[in-house]
Amino acid sequence: MLNISKFRAQKSLSCVFVDFIDFTSGIKSKMLKKYQFILLLLIGILSFSSCISTKKTTYLQENNKTLDSIIQIQQLKKPYRIQTGDLLSIRVKALDQELVGMFNPVGELNSSATTEERVYFDGFTVDDHGNIRVPTLGAVNVLGYTEREVREKIEKLLLENYFKEEANIFVTVKLAGIRYTTLGEIGTGSQVIYKEKVTIMEAVANAGGINEFGDMEHVKIIRQYPYGEEIHTIDLTSIDATKSEYYYIQPNDLILVNALPQKALGFGSTGLEVFRTAVTILSFVTTTILLFSRI
């Protein structure tokens, strides 16, 4: 009788142990399903928040859906006024070219020199006092002048001090390209375009464009003025950017493109990239939970 009772007691204990194992397994299974659900929900939320809409990466979008439309682009209302640090290209021509040889860049005779080298060595830089140094004329103040006003001033000084009316001198004054700097989610560095007028779109394209993580809705232009610097913002995703007074850049502008929040998440910029990342994370976490549940 004692052995039978002992056997029954051992059997009862083993049944309790088995029931306990089944119970804990059920809890682990429920916890695993719960964790999987929470993980899927979390990844889903992150996936939606990290996807970048095409509206944020498309230039100059129109509000209406018409296929063809006429867009009125903002024109420069005021000519650019020269500031310190600007580089000017000045040419003087006359019927007798020997008379004006000293005024023209030596680089013109060097065919192997690059455009950048010619501009740098042969241009006239506006110093901190707003002056340029012109042969025979010395320091000429051009701060705050337009290109036309500088041309007229130099012509007048040359006729008063060096040439006669019969020489028929012809002076041209131009900015030695539009020089600007780009920073952020855009090709970084110093850029130059040899045109009289340059739009923000041309400047961005010349720098290599804004990448998929760039905030095109809040492109900042840091512009220099005689009294200091100002920061302006332009939305390049809207067609209204063409009507902005900042649509045309100026020499020495700094174009800054900050990153979208999605870049910090690091999930990817397209739906496919986000999906692949989410699947990888889900597989890793699920495998980890399964391993710990068997311990």
Residues 211-246: tens digit of each pLDDT? 988 999 999 999 998 888 999 999 999 999 999 999
For residue 210, which amino acid is it?
A: I
57 vs 60, 99, 218, CA distance in Å? 10, 56, 12
The answer to whether residue 181 scores a pLDDT higher than 70 is: yes
Minimum mean pLDDT among 28-42, 70-84, 234-248: which range? 28-42
Backbone angles phi, psi at 149, to 5 degrees: -65, -35
Q: Would you list the domain boundaries of the chain? A: 2-52+264-293, 56-77+177-259, 87-175
Model pTM greater than 0.75?
no
How many Cβ atoms sit within 10 Å of the Cβ of residue 150?
A: 22
Fold of domain 56-77+177-259: Outer membrane lipoprotein wza fold like (3.10.560)
> Counting beta carbons within 10 angstroms of the beta carbon of residue 152, is it exposed (0 to 12), middle (13 to 18) or buried (19 or more)?
middle
How many Cβ atoms sit within 10 Å of the Cβ of residue 146?
A: 15
- CA distance linking residue 212 with residue 186, whole number of Å: 10
Q: Which CATH class is domain 87-175?
A: alpha beta
